[in-house]
Amino acid sequence: MESLSGALIGCGFFAVNQMHAWRDIKGASIVAVCDRNAERLQIVGDQFDVARRYTDAAAMFAAEKLDFVDVATTVGSHRELVEMAAAHGVPVICQKPFAPTLSDARAIVEACQTAGVPLMVHENFRWQSPIQAVRAVLDSGEIGTPFFGRISFRSGYDVFSGQPYLATGKRFIIEDLGIHILDIARFLLGDVSSLTARTARINPAIAGEDVATMLMDHAGGATSVVDCSYATKLAVEPFPETLIELDGSDGTIRLAQGYRLTVTGKTGTKVSDVSPPLLPWASRPWHNIQESVAAIQRHWIDCLASGQEPATSGADNLKTFALVEAAYAGAASRGPVQIDALLR
């Protein structure tokens, strides 16, 4: 396959993981980088030996012939940048959160559909190998039809030192982390019909919520609880592991701390280690997330080559984004929120 030429817009904290992954993926290379901050631009350009550097995205699109662009900026710039890419006919990956509002997200999807360009949201958590292992067990039929799930991410890890802007927004854990955990719930149990939420701010030094608990009804009949916390101090810090409990008609799945997967089903009980690989450029404990970055970007290149729609396409991600909006609305009203009403 001929190598596809891509560009990265946004050279911040997390984008370095994306650049490492692009360097390892056959069939793609980053030929240009863009960031309004000249210092960040130089650091990433030098580190990954990318000579073509821009501080203005419009100038980059005008000068470069690109097969795709990876938008890794903060949420406020996403709509403008993705619509710019669409106007130039360039397929685009967009970092999450997809947009500031659901209406902005819809507009982004429509712009790409009108332009006929592929759009994928960098919703990488479902691509972690332990999460994929859970999905594979479900697909095998070993536990029958799932009727209950709990997807949990509870930690006391200091995420603010690396990303200080997270402490300043009125929205925090649902928008930044919960969106991933909600997407995992959709990935495992299907689309959601209604959601009830409760939130709290335990850390007085931040502006947004750092604890959230969500109860969801899935269209297929299952019930799930999604709970997230950055205020939970444990004897052994689990960051950044997502823990999963699934009950089915014929058995159970438990993904426990330390990547221990226990499946009790039609053929008995099996315990396995589903630890993610430690990529050469990765570091613990981030390696499960770093591995998922490589996996989702490889999926994107495969989809561009085959013409298939990405699993986390813009259209699909609207359903996850609606859960985020529903969680904030439900936490404010303290009542259930119907998801279909948000997606109309």
Indicate whether 1 pLDDT > 70. no
Residues paired with 227 in a beta bridge: 152, 213
pLDDT at 70: 98
pLDDT tens digits for range 226-282: 999 999 999 999 999 999 999 999 999 999 999 999 999 999 999 999 999 999 999
Examine the pLDDT at 90 and tell me if it is beyond 90.
yes
pTM: 0.95
151-209 confidence digits (pLDDT tens): 999 999 999 998 898 999 999 999 999 999 999 999 999 999 999 999 999 999 999 99
pLDDT-derived band at 126 (thresholds 50, 70, 90) equals very high
pLDDT cut 70: percent of the chain above it:
100
Alpha helix ranges (H) inside 11-74: 15-24, 38-47, 57-63
Sign of CA pseudo-dihedral 42, 20, 236, 148: positive
Count the neighbouring beta carbons within 10 Å of the beta carbon of residue 168: 11
Residue with tokens 């490589």: 294
**DSSP tally for the chain: helices H, then strands E:** 11, 15
Q: How confident is the model at residue 97 (pLDDT cuts 50, 70, 90)?
A: confident
Average pLDDT of the chain to the nearest whole number: 97
DSSP 8-state symbol, 257: T
- Residue pLDDT, tens place only, 14-52: 999 999 999 999 999 999 999 999 999 999 999 999 999
Q: In residues, how long is the chain?
A: 344
pLDDT band at 296 (very low <50, low <70, confident <90, very high): very high
Q: Looking at 175-302, which runs of residues are DSSP E strands?
A: 192-200, 211-218, 223-229, 243-248, 251-256, 260-265, 268-273
Which residues of the chain form beta strands (DSSP E)?
Answer: 4-9, 28-34, 52-54, 68-71, 92-95, 119-122, 146-154, 192-200, 211-218, 223-229, 243-248, 251-256, 260-265, 268-273, 337-338
The gap from C-alpha 111 to its chain's centroid, in whole angstroms, comes to 21
Beta-sheet pairing, 92-95 with 68-71: parallel
Cβ–Cβ contacts within 10 Å for residue 267, how many? 11
pLDDT number for residue 163:
85
Does the structure show a pLDDT above 70 at 302?
yes
